Amino acid sequence: MNSEATAPVIPHWIDGAERVSAGGRTAPVHNPATGEVAARVALANADEIDAAVASAQRGFQTWSRYSVAKRQTVLFAFRELLNARRGELAEIITAEHGKVLSDAMGEIMRGQEVVELACGFPHLTKGAYSENASSGIDVYSIKQPLGVVAIISPFNFPAMVPMWFFPVAIAAGNAVVLKPSEKDPSAALWIARLWAEAGLPDGVFTVLQGDRAAVDGLLESPVVQAVSFVGSTPIAQYIYETASRTGKRVQALGGAKNHMMVLPDADLDLVADQAVNAGYGAAGERCMAVSVVLAVEPVADALIEKIAERIQKLRIGNGAGDADGEPDMGPLITGEHRDRVAGYVDIAERDGGRIVVDGRGCTVEGHEDGFWFGPTLIDDLPTTSRAYQEEIFGPVLQVIRVSTFQEGLDLINSGRFGNGTAIFTNDGGAARRFQHEVQVGMIGINVPIPVPVAYHSFGGWKASLFGDAKAYGVHGFDFFTREKAVTSRWLDPAAHGGIDLGFPQNS
Ligand code: NAD
């Protein structure tokens, strides 16, 4: 086991090489399944922030001059390398995040979809041309990259969330500075090495490790033109306000509290399976996890029984697998976060919630120091409780009973978040009304985790997204380019029109 003092230091990636200052600030990176400090991550200082941004600026000068064909070659090479070596990345994710290996592979595959979308960038960045818009005048618009852009990502998808943004940003000709979560920083470094192998010039993909100081350095830098942030709502709001004030383009995706509405006509076995998958997968550390099942009566009792029966059979353990194979669910990210989740279950209990299955105090034999929290199911929680109103981000599912579809819809719409939601029913009319009236950005109809495919865009409403652009898809290309409109006339010496001080009119 590494002691805090002997743990290796995870460096930045600046100018095509690892960089770390001797004696600089660091933070511990745990293996959540064992609780050990596996490494320490460098926390950027002012010199490193400056070096990262300056290198990215040089990278942009080079990269933005690459032809479309040459850029595409690098993107395809990255895709091929990632396909060949994604198992290595999955192991890194599991070791630092804790999620089971197949789930780590799943996040890589969803990120790879965006790389594949980005490989087709010429179609999405090609602009438009209007010949002879006015007599002898052509008008066309071209899409150009912004320059240096920053991506600030959360711990829960150390590969997929950065991949929502950087393939599109790089394809469009920008240089990226990625500030990953300090809790699982190694995936970003591995990705940087892969880009270098794919032939991306130095400085086009930079990894700046760090905490708030690194984020603030990027927000204050006049070189950084845009910020894509994903994380909790209070920080998303801070990023949105600060980046806007410093004149940057910004999209800041925040937290969530996703409801799954179950109508009485739904197949309850199907619903119970899906509620368990969506509530407890990745130990509930997903922004699209289902955290509330809205049971339209009279289904609640039967549904609770089916969910409870299923979750009691879930196997909790080291995400990397053990003698019995891969478990269903790994640990939480840190001991602090585990205690926070437990605190919410305490609040639910104090506020009158009935704890049907209690995950507090869960341990795994042989790994007693891991950050374990068992699947938890709560019934009868008043909607006035903080445990209902706030995001818990752990394996805690709450069942709220409502009498009618309308009551359920109103409850969803009264919430402050608007990331994802789902309805389970065989009634097409009800599903259609739900789709039309619910105030949420991503909706599943009999689909519990409706993360859109790469060519549709990802993003919530209300306190789940600050800014106007969602991630990837057409929104992504709009975000990472700016349009220039050109009005052009090649003078015909026989008919140039002479002097006229009036405002240009079409003819
Ligand atoms: P977080 O907000 O704590 O951290 C996100 C990033 O912000 C990290 O890189 C972190 O270093 C940085 N950061 C933290 N505190 C900061 C501060 N005071 N000033 C500046 N930067 C700061 O989020 P997290 O715990 O890493 O991730 C979990 C959260 O992310 C959950 O709320 C989850 O819902 C959300 N999330 C949302 C989406 C989405 O698509 N809407 C996707 C994934 C995760």
Q: What is the pLDDT of residue 248?
A: 98
- Ligand 1 atom closest to Cα of 287? 34
Cα of 231 from ligand 1 centre, angstroms: 2
Q: What is the pLDDT of residue 283?
A: 98
pLDDT score of 204 more than 60: yes
Average pLDDT over residues 131-156: 97
Q: List strands edge to edge, sheet with 224-230.
A: 17-19, 12-14, 205-207, 175-179, 148-152, 224-230, 249-253, 465-466
Q: Considering the domain boundaries, does residue 16 fall inside one?
A: yes
Contact assessment for residue 217 and residue 46, using Cβ atoms and an 8 Å cutoff: yes
Beta-carbon contacts of residue 306 (< 8 Å; ≥ 6 apart)? 268, 269, 271, 272
Mutation test residue for ligand 1: of 228, 235, 336, 451, the one with most atoms within 8 Å of CB:
235
Cα of 248 from ligand 1 centre, angstroms: 19
Q: Considering the domain boundaries, does residue 505 fall inside one?
A: no
pLDDT score of 2 more than 80: no
CATH for 397: 3.40.309.10
pLDDT score of 1 more than 60: no
Cα of 427 from ligand 1 centre, angstroms: 37
pLDDT band at 500 (very low <50, low <70, confident <90, very high): confident
Cα of 298 from ligand 1 centre, angstroms: 38
Contact assessment for residue 296 and residue 405, using Cβ atoms and an 8 Å cutoff: yes
The span from the CA of 375 to the CA of 394, in Å, is 8
pLDDT score of 292 more than 80: yes
Residues 440 and 300 in one domain: yes
Write the pLDDT tens digit of every residue in 389-434.
999 999 999 999 999 999 999 999 999 999 999 999 999 999 999 9
Cα of 301 from ligand 1 centre, angstroms: 36
Q: Considering the domain boundaries, does residue 495 fall inside one?
A: no
287 flagged as catalytic: yes
pLDDT score of 4 more than 70: no
Higher-confidence residue: 176 or 495?
176
Cα of 256 from ligand 1 centre, angstroms: 12
- Determine the residue type at 360: R
Residues 394 and 376 in one domain: yes
Average pLDDT over residues 297-308: 98
Supply the residue whose CA is at minimum distance from atom 34 of ligand 1. Answer: 255
Q: Considering the domain boundaries, does residue 456 fall inside one?
A: no
Total residue count of the chain as it appears in this document = 507
Tokens of 320: 């990397």
Residue 124 belongs to what domain range?
Answer: 9-254+464-485
- Ligand 1 atom closest to Cα of 155? 26
Which SS3 state, helix, strand or coil, does residue 479 take? helix
Residues 262 and 386 in one domain: yes
Supply the residue whose CA is at minimum distance from atom 19 of ligand 1. Answer: 212
Mutation test residue for ligand 1: of 208, 216, 287, the one with most atoms within 8 Å of CB:
287
Q: Kindly name the residue from 114, 191, 250, 287 that is annotated as catalytic.
A: 287
Cα of 154 from ligand 1 centre, angstroms: 4
Per DSSP, the residues of 200-225 read PPTTSEEE---SHHHHHHHHH-SSEE
Average pLDDT over residues 325-351: 98
Residues 304 and 422 in one domain: yes
The span from the CA of 345 to the CA of 322, in Å, is 29
Compute CA 268 distance to the chain's CA centroid, rounded to the nearest angstrom: 30
Q: Which of 417, 445, 473 is the last residue of a domain?
A: 445
CATH for 104: 3.40.605.10
Write the pLDDT tens digit of every residue in 8-57.
999 999 999 999 988 899 999 999 999 999 999 999 999 999 999 999 99
Q: What is the pLDDT of residue 495?
A: 67
Write the pLDDT tens digit of every residue in 151-201.
999 999 999 999 999 999 999 999 999 999 999 999 999 999 999 999 999
Supply the residue whose CA is at minimum distance from atom 35 of ligand 1. Answer: 231
> For every residue of 422-473, which 3-state class applies, written as one string?
EEECCCHHHHHHHHHHCCCCEEEECCCCCCCCCCCCECCEECCEECCCCECH
DSSP state of 505: -
Residues 103 and 148 in one domain: yes
Write the pLDDT tens digit of every residue in 362-399.
999 999 999 999 999 999 999 999 999 999 999 999 99
Beta-carbon contacts of residue 447 (< 8 Å; ≥ 6 apart)? 422
Q: What is the pLDDT of residue 11?
A: 98
The span from the CA of 301 to the CA of 303, in Å, is 5
- Ligand 1 atom closest to Cα of 211? 11
Q: List strands edge to edge, sheet with 354-357.
A: 354-357, 376-379, 396-402, 290-296, 258-262, 420-424, 442-445
Supply the residue whose CA is at minimum distance from atom 9 of ligand 1. Answer: 181
Q: What is the pLDDT of residue 482?
A: 98
pLDDT score of 3 more than 60: no
Tokens of 504: 């240009």
Residues 420 and 472 in one domain: no
Q: What is the pLDDT of residue 499?
A: 82
Residues 202 and 279 in one domain: no
The answer to whether the peptide bond before residue 298 is cis (omega within 30 degrees of 0) is yes
Residues 364 and 481 in one domain: no
Q: Is 470 exposed, middle or buried (0-12, 13-18, 19+ CB in 10 A)?
A: buried
Mutation test residue for ligand 1: of 29, 49, 211, the one with most atoms within 8 Å of CB:
211
Q: Considering the domain boundaries, does residue 459 fall inside one?
A: no
Supply the residue whose CA is at minimum distance from atom 23 of ligand 1. Answer: 231
Average pLDDT over residues 134-145: 96
Residues 245 and 152 in one domain: yes
pLDDT band at 492 (very low <50, low <70, confident <90, very high): confident
Cα of 228 from ligand 1 centre, angstroms: 12
Residues 306 and 181 in one domain: no
What is the percentage of the chain residues whose pLDDT exceeds 90? 95
Mutation test residue for ligand 1: of 99, 155, 396, the one with most atoms within 8 Å of CB:
155
Query: What residues flank ligand 1, with Cβ below 6 Å?
Result: 152-157, 161, 179, 181-182, 211-212, 215, 230-232, 235, 238, 253-256, 287, 391, 393, 419, 460, 464
**Continuous H helices in 256-381:** 268-280, 300-311, 335-350
Residues 331 and 478 in one domain: no
Q: How many domains does the chain have?
A: 2
- Ligand 1 atom closest to Cα of 183? 26
The span from the CA of 495 to the CA of 325, in Å, is 80
Contact assessment for residue 348 and residue 292, using Cβ atoms and an 8 Å cutoff: no
Cα of 257 from ligand 1 centre, angstroms: 15
Q: What is the pLDDT of residue 5?
A: 67
Q: Considering the domain boundaries, does residue 458 fall inside one?
A: no
CB neighbour burial string for 457-469, b if at least 16 within 10 angstroms, e if fewer: bbbbebbbbbbeb
Q: Considering the domain boundaries, does residue 369 fall inside one?
A: yes
Supply the residue whose CA is at minimum distance from atom 38 of ligand 1. Answer: 287
- Ligand 1 atom closest to Cα of 232? 32
The span from the CA of 108 to the CA of 437, in Å, is 33
Planar angle of CA 166, 171, 173, nearest 5 degrees: 100
- Give 125-131 contacts, CB < 8 A, sequence gap 24+: 125/68, 125/171, 125/172, 125/477, 125/481, 127/483
- Ligand 1 atom closest to Cα of 154? 26
Average pLDDT over residues 195-219: 98
pLDDT score of 114 more than 80: yes
- Ligand 1 atom closest to Cα of 393? 31
Unique residue bearing structure tokens 């595409």? 72
The span from the CA of 178 to the CA of 183, in Å, is 14
Unique residue bearing structure tokens 């120091």? 369
CB neighbour burial string for 234-273, b if at least 16 within 10 angstroms, e if fewer: ebbebbbebbeeeebbbbbbbbbbbbbbbbeebebeebbe
pTM flag (> 0.75)? yes
Residues 287 and 401 in one domain: yes
Q: Considering the domain boundaries, does residue 507 fall inside one?
A: no
